[in-house]
Amino acid sequence: MYPFEEQVDMILIYGECQQNSVQARILYSERYPNRILPSRRTFKNVCDKLRQTGSLNTRKSDREKKVTHEGNEVGVLAMVARNPHVSSRQIERESGVSKKSVLRILRRHKFHPYHLSLHQELHGMDFVNRVRFCQWAQQQIRNNESFFDTVLFTDEATFTNHGNVNLRNMHMWAVENPHWLRQVEHQRQWSLNVWCGIIGDKIIGPYFFDGHLNGNSYANFLEYTLGALLEDLPLITRRTMWYQHDGCPAHFSLVARNKLNEKFTNRWIGRGGRVMWPARSPDLTPLDFFLWGTLKDMVYKEEPTTPQAMQQQIITACTLITPDVIKTATQSIIGRIQACIDNNGHHFEHLL
């Protein structure tokens, strides 16, 4: 919209030229060479606006007021009440109100398009077990507020050459459509089994298992590899740290539990240990709610070519995550524990 003074000048010149917009435009350009030159139609529109409204102040157009009048507003809100999943485009098609006006109405009434969250299904004793673990964790925090700085959270994940590319995080700015595409190899599939740990503000690993994970390979990892991965930690941390993992079959194997009892006597969390890890609880471990998603977003930005290249991408990605970011993730566990208790062991991430 043109400033008030410029609109006045347009009206004066338009009258001077006997309402001839062609001549008005020429005269305006001669008198005000440093201004943006209005179109022929603009001269008439400014005069019409003054006749109809008696003012040159910026006002909502008749169309905008029409589409957002009370009747249409009630209709839009009624459609949302009937079907909270309805899209703005569907409302536009069925009501005749423009998408822009639909969004304006919904914003005015504090509606927000919240997205669906997917979670593992909980059942049976899961709720009780989750609350019981969280209550135990709170007791440890009361005894030592830095308790979770001494817990090594661990997990395994599979990275494939046809993996989860997050297309929303990938874009290419260009003047013309570059028709950007990525070829994905579905016929010759391969994958990597990756172990990682998080303690305090540090990522431990990654370590890559050959083949499928089983009790023997996991016990060998605990015996011969884990110590080397922990070498950079202070000796006091290694002597007092707790070890956490979930209850997958390899972790629950007798040979693996014996090894944990040997190396972390009464200081490991998992199925079959003194402290049970609640099943189906990825929302309580930073590997699941933070690390794996972050790594996959970083790794899959470039096309995975070979297992060796992907290994290096994963290693590099781990080094790029800063200690502050990792620390924020581990500190959030305390709030998650309380949220789990408050929600009686039910899912809570959608409430955070």
pLDDT, tens only, 224-248:
999 999 999 999 999 999 999 999 9
Per-residue pLDDT, averaged over 204-212, amounts to: 93
My answer on whether 220 and 267 are in the same domain is yes
My answer on whether 50 and 70 are in the same domain is no
My answer on whether 80 and 228 are in the same domain is no
Residue 186 CB neighbour total at 10 angstroms? 8
In a domain, 118, yes or no: no
- Contacts of residue 38, defined as CB under 8 A and 6 or more positions apart, other chains included, come to 2, 10, 25, 28
Per-residue pLDDT, averaged over 84-105, amounts to: 85
Residue 67: pLDDT over 60: no
In a domain, 250, yes or no: yes
Give residue 14's domain range.
4-59
My answer on whether 259 and 158 are in the same domain is yes
**Amino acid at the residue 258:** N
In a domain, 173, yes or no: yes
Residue 108: pLDDT over 90: no
pLDDT, tens only, 216-225:
999 999 999 9
CATH assignment of the domain containing 177: 3.30.420.10
Whether 351 and 339 have beta carbons less than 8 Å apart is answered as: yes
Radius of gyration of the chain (CA): 32
My answer on whether 44 and 156 are in the same domain is no
**Total number of domains constituting the chain:** 3
My answer on whether 191 and 207 are in the same domain is yes
Q: What φ, ψ does residue 270 adopt, rounded to 5°?
A: 170, 175
Domain finish residue from 75, 108, 141: 108
Residue scoring higher pLDDT (42 or 75): 42
Residue 196's H or E segment, with its range, is strand 191-199
In a domain, 113, yes or no: no
My answer on whether 90 and 17 are in the same domain is no
Residue 79: pLDDT over 50: yes
pLDDT band at 295 (very low <50, low <70, confident <90, very high): very high
My answer on whether 158 and 219 are in the same domain is yes
Range with lowest mean pLDDT among 79-88, 100-109, 167-176, 325-334:
167-176
My answer on whether 322 and 179 are in the same domain is yes
The full DSSP string for 240-297 is: H-EEE----HHHHSHHHHHHHHHHSTT-EESTTSSBPPPSS-GGGSHIIIIIHHHHHH
pLDDT band at 121 (very low <50, low <70, confident <90, very high): confident
* pLDDT reported for residue 183: 52
pLDDT, tens only, 146-194:
999 999 999 999 998 876 544 444 444 444 555 545 554 555 688 899 9
My answer on whether 99 and 141 are in the same domain is no
Q: What φ, ψ does residue 285 adopt, rounded to 5°?
A: -120, 130
My answer on whether 46 and 155 are in the same domain is no
In a domain, 119, yes or no: no
